[in-house]
Amino acid sequence: MKELSGHTLPFAVLGHPIGHTLSPVMHNASLRALGRDAIYLAFDVAPDQLLTVLPAMRAMGFGGVNLTVPLKEVAYAGFADLDESAQLVGAVNTVAFPEAGGMRGYNTDGYGFLTAMQEACGTSVDGQAVHVIGTGGAGRALALVCARAGARSLTCTDVDATRAERVATEIRTATPDCPVTTVDAADQVAATRAADIIIQSTPVGMRPEDPPLLGSEAFRSGQLVFDLIYMYPETALMKAARAAGAETANGLGMLLHQGARAYTIWTGDAPDTDAMRAALEKAVYGE
């Protein structure tokens, strides 16, 4: 791990305060558990300041930086050095400062999702039929990641049919071997039941009183339903899916593993994921 002589090594997350609340919680828990002389901080940085702030952070000796909304696309557009993970989804959420100089952009969300899914049910997307509900930022990114990871097929649905078709077109261009179709509301239940893996990436369910997007009739045994919402251990959609015999997971595992991957990119070392998970669960669920 890179060290600064006589000084604490800083890491940071930049972006909107709502988006960077939990990153310091999990990273600082890991740093304490590992006994590292390091600290992870959060800063609110405006999009038009990002490409000025990052070189200054490098000069100050920061070990690495995470980015949240609305900075991910700004970095992608402004960086000359982009890892394949960022190129695939068109966004940067992790910035490394290579010893040779400059800045390199990564996106760890795909890794976080795939690792969390493997952890939750011991399977991968390779050879699976995937249905993505909601094709905004996260849904779009995970649809592209699943296609690249070997999904047998993809179906996408969104209240904005034009957006769903735009994502489908991106997938056909980036991964032509993966068949992809869009689904309207009338065919949503049938498309969900036909899938092996369902990814719920809409905001529905962020409030405890939100009804599930789909009832139990849309699910079956043998499926994995992955709801990206992590504010509650089990969302209404997860309850409906579990009642039909499906396996379920929420988005906390993805949050954990995308952060763990960022730390490894910065340092070459593995973080203490047990400490990170415990800190996240306490912060989110009070456990």
Q: Over its length of 287 residues, how does the chain's per-residue pLDDT go in tens digits?
A: 444 444 568 999 987 654 568 999 999 999 999 999 999 999 999 999 999 999 999 999 999 999 998 899 999 999 999 999 999 999 999 999 999 999 999 999 999 999 999 998 888 999 999 999 999 999 999 999 999 999 999 999 999 999 999 999 999 999 999 999 999 988 999 999 999 999 999 999 888 888 999 999 999 999 999 999 999 999 999 999 999 999 999 999 999 999 999 999 999 999 999 999 999 999 999 96
Q: pTM of this prediction?
A: 0.94
C-alpha–C-alpha distance, residues 3 and 182, integer Å: 49
How far apart CA 111 and CA 109 sit, in angstroms, is 5
Candidate list 2, 72, 239, 282, residue with the active-site label: 72
Cα–Cα distance measured from residue 202 to residue 87, given in angstroms and rounded to the nearest whole number: 23
List helix spans (H) across the chain.
Answer: 22-34, 50-59, 72-78, 84-89, 109-121, 137-148, 161-174, 188-194, 236-243, 252-267, 273-285
Model pLDDT, residue 16: 60
CB contact at 8 A, 67 and 14: yes
Report the alpha-carbon distance of residue 42 to residue 70 in Å, rounded: 15
Q: What are 226's two structure tokens?
A: 């992955």
Q: What confidence score (pLDDT) does residue 5 get?
A: 40
Domains of the chain: 9-107+254-285 (3.40.50.10860), 110-250 (3.40.50.720)
Angstrom distance (rounded) from CA 287 to CA 284: 8
Q: What pLDDT is stored for residue 107 in this prediction?
A: 98
CA distance 182 to 163: 10
Report the SS3 class of residue 187.
Answer: helix
Confidence (pLDDT) at 20: 60
Q: For position 17, what pLDDT does the model report?
A: 56
Tokens 């993966």 belong to residue: 178
Give yes or no: 72 in active site.
yes
